[in-house]
């Protein structure tokens, strides 16, 4: 149990008002540097841009700005090399960097905080970090799409059962199935890009909440940091976290898509299906059952999707009742964002590896086509085309044909024409041409269909759209 009675020294940041320091537990709950130190590069970049703008506007001297830039560059090198020691006593990444800057350049370091607050400073850093994270995730998703497209191209004509309700429905190709995930991931990437555009407005210069009386040039700073524009309202600038929520929502959706593919990999790899095999690279054994090869990577991807949704729910709960403008509750945003970005990166990398690693067993897929009267819809469609039967009637007729096949324990093409004609005299031997799964697949030539020729073309089109 943490001790609450010990009093620390007054914090130098606000010690002019406070004669005593916080209780030990207060110092512990208030510090965020263990988490937000990841923002160091973005904090330094924003501080450099801010100081350059202050000098350009004559708010601080040019020599001070040069010293600030020089000192920040040295701090960046120290952090990257591992020489920099972050201290909880200084609360967060911003004060750790400012304190070190003062060690290096003296009192000029204090001028770097002119016309800004930690409120606009931290949210600027987070937007910069998320911008980079979104770009990195987009690149990772692109690699996953390529892996799926490569596999789909190789197995464009591999016939397998398509399922609804996890029941055999209609024949499709393995390549066509994988292309569905290519499209989903394409939308995930579009959501990332769309969110990135919305988050690319700069809070810096909003100060604590009301703006500043200094004659700053926010547009200059925004341009230096590659933001599209400064945020229009200073209160919104420091209090908004919808950009982070939007990222977490996008991450949750992307994670859900990965989880669905992971679930299918688990199912396909099971002996009951046997549609794919995974190597030892993406499976584990059992401590007691020597025969086991468990698809643990897929199972972990499936489970980690819950962490992404949890991050979104957590930050939503933090934000739902906050009055404007800033409250310390907002300090809890970064842990959710960082964890979600890390988790999603790991999930994507694991999934890319599994997609490249998995070896489809086309013979097993073809054997599975024998279950569930999988060409029944083709039978009904043939009645519509060849005998001019309304589809609803064709559906009823085919249902009776299926019932007869179930009774005789045979496939649809195991029935004789004579037996079929007892149900409907319009049936001819030509119906057998549509009862073969390969023919059924080839016939699905509507846009977006599963015909192998369309799948091959869809792979080419997707490479142009996404890669």
Q: Which positions are annotated as active-site residues? A: 165, 286
Instruction: Please provide the distance, in angstroms rounded to a whole number, between the alpha carbons at the two ends of the chain.
Output: 53
For residues 158 and 173, the answer to whether their CB atoms sit within 8 Å is yes
Q: Residue with structure tokens 């300090």?
A: 331
CA nearest neighbour of 411 among 370, 440, 366, 441? 370
Cα–Cα distances (Å) from 407 to 93, 360, 416, in that order, read 73, 33, 14
Look at strands 201-202 and 229-230 and give their pairing. Answer: parallel
Structure-derived torsion over alpha carbons of residues 330, 331, 336, 342, reported in degrees to the nearest 10: 130
For residues 467 and 332, give the distance between their C-alpha atoms in angstroms, rounded to a whole number: 36
Structure token digits, residue 196 = 């990135």
Structure token digits, residue 458 = 């869809």
For residues 129 and 116, give the distance between their C-alpha atoms in angstroms, rounded to a whole number: 19
CA nearest neighbour of 244 among 208, 198, 297? 198
CA angle 445, 451, 456 (to 5 degrees): 115
**Cβ atoms within 10 Å of 353's Cβ, excluding its own:** 16
Q: Give 167's strand partners.
A: 164
Q: What is the CA radius of gyration of the chain?
A: 31
For residues 39 and 333, the answer to whether their CB atoms sit within 8 Å is no
Residue 401, Ramachandran bin (φ over 0: left; ψ between -120 and 50: alpha; else beta): alpha
Cα of 193 vs its chain's centroid, Å: 12
**Cβ atoms within 10 Å of 94's Cβ, excluding its own:** 24
For residues 140 and 78, the answer to whether their CB atoms sit within 8 Å is no
For residues 355 and 276, the answer to whether their CB atoms sit within 8 Å is no
Any residues with CB less than 8 A from the CB of 217 and at least 6 apart, and which?
53, 56, 57
């Amino acid at each position: 149990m943490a001790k609450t009675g010990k009093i620390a020294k007054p914090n130098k940041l606000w010690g002019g008002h406070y004669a005593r320091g916080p209780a030990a537990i207060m110092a512990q709950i208030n510090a965020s540097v263990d988490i937000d130190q990841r923002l160091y590069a973005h904090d330094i970049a924003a501080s450099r841009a801010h100081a350059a703008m202050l000098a350009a506007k004559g708010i601080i001297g040019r020599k001070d700005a040069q010293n600030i830039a020089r000192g920040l560059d040295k701090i960046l090198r120290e952090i990257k090399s591992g020489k920099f020691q972050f201290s909880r006593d200084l609360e967060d990444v911003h004060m750790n960097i400012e304190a070190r800057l003062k060690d290096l350049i003296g009192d000029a370091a204090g001028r770097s905080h002119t016309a800004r607050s930690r409120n606009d400073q931290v949210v600027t850093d987070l937007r910069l970090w998320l911008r980079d994270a979104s770009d990195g995730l987009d690149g990772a998703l692109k690699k996953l799409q390529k892996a799926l497209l490569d596999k789909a191209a190789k197995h464009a004509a591999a016939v397998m059962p398509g399922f609804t309700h996890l029941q055999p429905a209609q024949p499709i190709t393995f390549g066509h199935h994988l292309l569905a995930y290519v499209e989903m991931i394409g939308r995930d990437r579009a959501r990332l890009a769309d969110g990135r555009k919305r988050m690319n407005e700069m809070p810096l210069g909003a100060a604590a909440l009301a703006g500043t009386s200094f004659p700053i040039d926010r547009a200059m700073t925004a341009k230096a940091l590659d933001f599209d524009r400064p945020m229009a309202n200073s209160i919104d600038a420091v209090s908004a976290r919808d950009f982070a929520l939007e990222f977490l929502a996008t991450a949750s959706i992307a994670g859900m898509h990965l989880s669905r593919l992971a679930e299918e990999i688990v199912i396909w790899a099971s002996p009951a299906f046997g549609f794919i095999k995974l190597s030892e690279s993406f499976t584990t054994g059992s401590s007691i059952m020597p025969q086991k090869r468990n698809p643990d990577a897929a199972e972990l991807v499936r489970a980690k999707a819950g962490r992404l949704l949890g991050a979104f729910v957590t930050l939503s709960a933090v934000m739902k009742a906050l009055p404007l403008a800033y409250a310390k509750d907002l300090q809890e945003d970064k842990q959710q964002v960082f964890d979600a970005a890390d988790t999603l990166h790991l999930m994507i990398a694991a999934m890319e590896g599994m997609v490249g690693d998995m070896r489809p067993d086309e013979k097993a897929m073809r054997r599975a086509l024998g279950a569930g009267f999988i060409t029944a819809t083709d039978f009904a469609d043939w009645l519509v085309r060849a005998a001019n039967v309304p589809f609803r009637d064709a559906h009823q007729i085919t249902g009776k044909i299926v019932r007869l096949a179930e009774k005789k324990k045979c496939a649809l093409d195991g029935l004789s024409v004579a037996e079929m004609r007892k149900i409907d005299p319009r049936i001819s031997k030509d119906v057998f041409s549509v009862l073969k799964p390969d023919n059924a697949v080839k016939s699905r030539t509507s846009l977006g269909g599963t015909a192998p020729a369309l799948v091959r073309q869809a792979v080419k089109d997707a490479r142009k759209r996404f890669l």
